Structure 1
Amino acid sequence: MPDRRWTMRLLQIAQHAEDLERATAWYQKVLGAPPAATYDPPGLVFFHLGRTRLLLDRAASSALIYLEVPDVKESVRTLRADGVTIDTEPHVIFNHADDTLGPAGTAEWMAFVIDSEGNQVGLVSQLPE
């Protein structure tokens, strides 16, 4: 049997959304794209995040998801102006000395915001040092 550990990919992440309409509007605005599909009932909304799906689901537990954005500082300014609660201001988590977790010579910036359902969402950028 072949070793499939290295051929797997993350297909889907589920996030709790008590109010699907409100959560759909929030994620549509933040992601800059409409949902790929909505099934209500039973209460499911899907967004495409590259090759991974984000599922908003009343029955799901809260998940801590991290979204890559071009510039976390600019994203936080825009979201704050839209009335989004900023939980943690943009800050450098670490610098990439090599390509193990990101491009060498970049700094990994992170901030945390609160979505419309009270879930914490991480925003991440890898920017030149």
Structure 2
Amino acid sequence: MRMIQVAQRAEDLGRASAFYSRLLGTEPTGVFDPPGLVFFDLDGVRLLLERRAPSAVIYLQVPDLAAALERLRADGVRVVAEPALIFHHGDDSLGPAGTDEFMAFVADSEGNTVGLVEQRVGGRR
């Protein structure tokens, strides 16, 4: 079994679509309005923006957390929580062994929380 789709609440589909296009660096793969659905492809998992969906916390891997936050701040995105070390991967059960997992959280255009995750080789900043 694998995850195929995750839904996120979007009161304003145009605004949310623009936010996620900028965040993800890609345009939607499908827009159906009506009924009010926007899809993005996240490496084989669909991100669905939908007016009636409940708010969810989604976590997106970024190669450089500091650079991602700098770019988002420049776009006026509110940082909910600054980067913090969450844990060290001693083995490969949750991520690459020997890496430290850092997370920060931002608010999307609709007020949903988005987690940004960077897995760094231990000790690298």
Give TM-score scaled by structure 2 length: 0.96
Q: Give the secondary-structure state (helix, strand or coil) at the position aligned to 1:45.
A: strand
Name the aligned partner's letter for residue 120 of structure 1. T
| Identity value in percent | 60
Equivalent runs, 1:12-31 vs 2, <5 Å: 12-31=5-24
Name the aligned partner's letter for residue 102 of structure 2. W
> Is 2:59 aligned against 1:66?
yes
Higher-Rg structure is 1
Q: Deviations over 1:55-106 (max 9, x none)?
A: 0000100011000111112111111111100000011101111111111111
- RMSD of the TM alignment (CA)? 0.6
Which whole-Å CA distance do the structure 2 matches of 1:108 and 1:74 have between them? 16
Which whole-Å CA distance do the structure 1 matches of 2:35 and 2:96 have between them? 41
In the alignment, structure 2 segments of 5+ residues that lack a partner are none
Q: Which stretch of the first structure deviates more once superposed, 99-108 or 16-25?
A: 99-108
> Is 2:50 aligned against 1:53?
no
Give TM-score scaled by structure 1 length: 0.93
In structure 2, the residue matched to 1:89 is 82
> Is 2:82 aligned against 1:75?
no
Name the aligned partner's letter for residue 54 of structure 1. L
Q: Give the secondary-structure state (helix, strand or coil) at the position aligned to 1:98.
A: coil
In the alignment, structure 1 segments of 5+ residues that lack a partner are 1-7
Which whole-Å CA distance do the structure 2 matches of 1:73 and 1:99 have between them? 24
Counterpart pick for 1:39 among 32, 35, 51: 32
Which whole-Å CA distance do the structure 1 matches of 2:60 and 2:92 have between them? 20
Q: Which stretch of the first structure deviates more once superposed, 111-120 or 98-107?
A: 98-107
Name the aligned partner's letter for residue 68 of structure 1. Q
